[in-house]
Amino acid sequence: MTTDPARPFGRVLTAMVTPFAEDGSIDLAGAQELAAHLVDRQAHDGLVVLGTTGEAPTLADGEQHAVLEAVIDAVGDRATVVAGVGTNDTAHSTDNARRAERLGADGLLVVTPYYNKPPQAGLLRHFTAVADATDLPVMLYDIPPRSVVPIEVETLVRLAEHPRIVAVKDAKSDLGAMAWTLARTDLAYYCGEDMVNLPMLALGAVGVVSVVGHLVGPRLAELIAAVEAGDLAKAREVNESLLPVYTGVFRTQGVITVKAALRELGLPGGPVRPPLVDATPEQLEQLRTDLTAGGVHLGEVHTR
């Protein structure tokens, strides 16, 4: 949906949770309702579907395709929909990419292959194969806390030569590596770790792929606008107001706390799937305290 080549996927995107029914099945109507809420009421110009926060590793291929199709039907006319297609198997990832293109996705999120710890030459081959599989723009997902292997600067420089590899979702938080990559490539950076949204934006990131965006999308848009306007004092003020939200959501796995918050707000989310476990009463109470300190009051939406 975006027409700005410097921001190929927009400014404010959230890594959307996948709503489940209480029996653990996919809640497609809930996915559509949540997607519309994020776009229409939370200032999102894009959504990333089927990422880590979407619990993609626990979804069968058919479930993934159904969720993606439902979200595209709900908001694809007014927001960029980026499909998470990466796995630790190149052939499976390319198949996912082709299917996402057929379903109408606007772009692809491709995570560093996890568990098998490929060398940089393997990353180059993997990402290139997925980018070659479709005509869609690709956002690389650099997240060594989950993949172990970082995408090194030299590898990013080579990948940037591919016409469809246009962006990086950075959850590595290596600001030096980011600065060098920005200096040597035209890749658009999106912050993928909420606590460092401000420093990454100040270095030149064009937007965020957020988890806390489920709850504070308009304030993330305000943060980005302040940085773009050169108003560092305002950006610091907004960022400091968000610190309790960042901390509260990431006291445990973000999808656990976000789904707990969505439930309290009357929005679709449902339970998590094993091996994750739902928030305990004690975790929910702490989350309430953290979010209240950050200006988010649970129980105020209730759209259902």
User: Could you give the residue numbers annotated as active site?
Assistant: 141, 169
Q: Tell me which residue of 248, 203, 245 sits closest to 220, measured CA to CA.
A: 245
Task: Please tell me the distance from the alpha carbon of residue 297 to that of residue 295, in angstroms, as a whole number.
Answer: 6
Residue 236: CB atoms within 10 A of its CB come to 14
- CA angle (287, 291, 294) in 5-degree steps: 150
* Tokens found for residue 112: 């560093």
- CA angle (230, 39, 92) in 5-degree steps: 100
* Tokens found for residue 179: 């600065």
- The answer on whether 209 is annotated among ligand-binding residues is yes
- Residue 124: its H or E element: helix 120-132
At residue 101, what is the residue type? E
Chain-centroid distance, C-alpha 183: 24
Helix (H, G, I), strand (E, B), or coil: what is residue 177? helix
- The answer on whether 247 is annotated among ligand-binding residues is no
Task: Please tell me the distance from the alpha carbon of residue 304 to that of residue 287, in angstroms, as a whole number.
Answer: 22
- Residue 170: its H or E element: strand 165-170
Looking up tokens 């979702």, which residue turns up? 169
Exposure on the CB side of residue 19, measured as CA atoms within 13 A: 20
Helix (H, G, I), strand (E, B), or coil: what is residue 139? strand
The number of residues making up the chain comes to 304
User: Percentage helix, strand, coil, to 5, in the chain?
Assistant: 50, 15, 40
Report, in angstroms and rounded to the nearest whole number, the Rg of the chain calculated over CA atoms. 18
Feature table: binding site for pyruvate: 53, 209
